[in-house]
Amino acid sequence: MSALFPIAVRALASVACPCVAGPLARDLPFIGDLGSSPIYLGSAVLGGAVLTLQSVLLLFGGGDADGDLDHGDASDGFGFLSIRTVASFLTFFGLMGLYGTASGWGVGATAGAATLAGLAMMTFVAWLFSLQRNLAQEGTLDPSLAIGLPAKVYLRVPGQRSGQGKVTVAVQGRTVEFAAITLGAELPTGSDARIVRQIDPNTFEIEAAP
């Protein structure tokens, strides 16, 4: 991979300022003539620019500027086609193509190696971020799982639905606080209760523990 670095430097420099391409060619003669591979050069620059932009937006609070291009539900699948994975393909397709061209490989060998490198990185990035999504989903709290669980009254719950109190309940390995009402008698702070049903995302009906 380190062999690709000088190629990337010259590729980016030749796009940013064509006047430096000549001196770089003299300083790094083993790179070869990159001018004969505009597809690889363009792919590397475009893919690298998109990945850099995404990283900057994520770093400075601009959000994760990624999106699925296959219009599927990425949360349930691999999420193979996205801006990030396509950019990764272009970047490594271009870099490997530049490396193959500079090393004197044949056209077919260079194209094949570039395509394989791009697909490998595309698959790896898709797998990595699908794993990240799955971990995030596992950590997302589902309040409905509290139904039927024991709870502890944290703030007095008035009887006959005359007001709200608060309870704490252990859900998905964490202790969570919810608003609570009861149809029965008042439940004082510290008493044991049971979650009966969900009223809204943050409010539950409770009853005294049997």
Tokens for 177, please give them: 């606080």
Could you give the CA distance from residue 114 to residue 88 in angstroms, rounded to a whole number? 12
pTM value is: 0.48
Indicate if 73 and 51 belong to the same structural domain: yes
DSSP code, position 72: S
Full domain range(s) for residue 78: 4-138
Could you give the CA distance from residue 15 to residue 142 in angstroms, rounded to a whole number? 50
Q: Where a domain ends, among 138, 165, 200? A: 138
Q: Which amino acid is at 48?
A: G
| DSSP-assigned beta bridge partners for residue 27 | none
Q: Which of 86, 66, 61 is nearest to 132 (CA)?
A: 66
Indicate if 165 and 202 belong to the same structural domain: yes
Q: Check if the beta carbon of residue 158 is closer than 8 Å to that of residue 165.
A: yes
Q: Where a domain ends, among 138, 163, 190? A: 138
Task: Answer left, alpha or beta for residue 148, where phi above 0 means left and psi between -120 and 50 means alpha.
Answer: left
State what percent of residues in the chain have pLDDT above 70. 70
pLDDT for 75 equals 42
pLDDT band at 138 (very low <50, low <70, confident <90, very high): low
Mean pLDDT of 163-177: 89
Question: Domain containing 188 — which CATH number?
Answer: 2.40.50.140
The answer to whether residue 52 scores a pLDDT higher than 50 is yes
Could you give the CA distance from residue 4 to residue 115 in angstroms, rounded to a whole number? 16
Number of domains in the chain: 2
| DSSP-assigned beta bridge partners for residue 193 | 151, 208
Indicate if 41 and 129 belong to the same structural domain: yes
